[in-house]
Amino acid sequence: MSKVAFVFPGQGSQYVGMGKDLYEQSDVARSFFQKADEILGFPLSSVSFSGPEEKLRQTQITQPAIFLHSIVLGNLLKNPHADMTAGHSLGEYTALVFAGALRFEDGLQLVRLRGKLMKQAGTEHPGTMAAVIGLERQTIEQVCREASEAGVVKIANLNAPGQVVISGSVPGVRRAMELAKGRKAKLVKELVVSGAFHSPLMQNAQMGLEAALQECDIRDPRIPVYSNVTAKPVRKADEVKSLLIEQLTAPVQWDESVRKMVEDGSKRFVEVGPGKVLQGLIRRTDSRVNVVGIDSWRDLSKL
């Protein structure tokens, strides 16, 4: 029998207005948004619903906003049966809450702290990121090695075949961009980000997050959660903790996670949260699987 995987998006999927229809249509959704505003001590719901966009794009707001939207949708699903789950970067925290490894309240506080620490690390050690389309992983690894004479630069996200994001210091990333263009990449584009996420420049954020995770009550997930760091299923609480710490400076192995979930029996993927980013990446990784997304009240009604 084919299995179902629920996947949760990460930063970059946010948009002004996300979750507003859920809040208006559902008492359950309303209670989640109100609880989040109370826990965080600021009106996250109104930034999600009404912007301004510049504020919603701030890492320390983006992360809890996407997390909250996905969690609300997950709770509004009737019979949300999933055999396995995963999330892209920030989305891994949502997946862990969905799998019962983290309480909603703890997950919300952790993603807010994670956003703050990442922004702070970006200020202390300025960096940037760039998307590289159309080159093999090995070629990009070689490009990063050559460009490291100019500064730190590493692979940050392996999103889908031929779709990779690099991250590091500004001189390192820009040198790698030049080299990638020289290797005939189809597209090389610098991203608008507040730091070099998933690179060694996030080490300060890693230390702060580790302290918070040591205090956090993490349980064994009730379904396997495929880790960004290893692309393998995680079933134990202590493993969850150490991999979340490592995740901040390690590349997101998204394409490999998708392949592993397919290998383990998933023929259907459901993206739960804002946007359609993961749906596109999953289709590029394996065109045979069935992929759907849930982002709005209308999507829920259709299901």
Question: Does 125 participate in catalysis according to the annotation?
Answer: no
Catalytic-role residue among 45, 48, 89, 257 = 89
Question: Token pair of 136, please?
Answer: 């093999």
Q: Rounded CA gap, 159 and 148, in Å?
A: 22
Q: In a 3-state reduction of DSSP, which class is residue 17?
A: coil
Question: Does 169 participate in catalysis according to the annotation?
Answer: no
Q: Which of 90-120 are b and which e, b meaning 16 or more Cβ less than 10 Å from the residue's Cβ?
A: bbbbbbbbbbebbebebbbbbbbbbbbbbbb
Catalytic-role residue among 45, 169, 198, 199 = 198
Beta bridge partners of 155: 166
Q: In a 3-state reduction of DSSP, which class is residue 191?
A: strand
Q: What is the CA radius of gyration of the chain?
A: 18
What dihedral angle (degrees, nearest 10) is formed by the CA atoms of 84, 9, 191, 168? -40
Question: Cβ contacts of residue 255 below 8 Å, gap of 6+?
Answer: 158, 159, 160, 161, 163, 281, 285
Q: If residue 69 lies in a helix (H) or strand (E), which one and from where to where?
A: helix 59-76
Characterise 167 by phi-psi region: left (phi > 0), alpha (psi -120 to 50), beta (else).
beta
Q: In a 3-state reduction of DSSP, which class is residue 81?
A: coil
State the catalytic residues. 89, 198
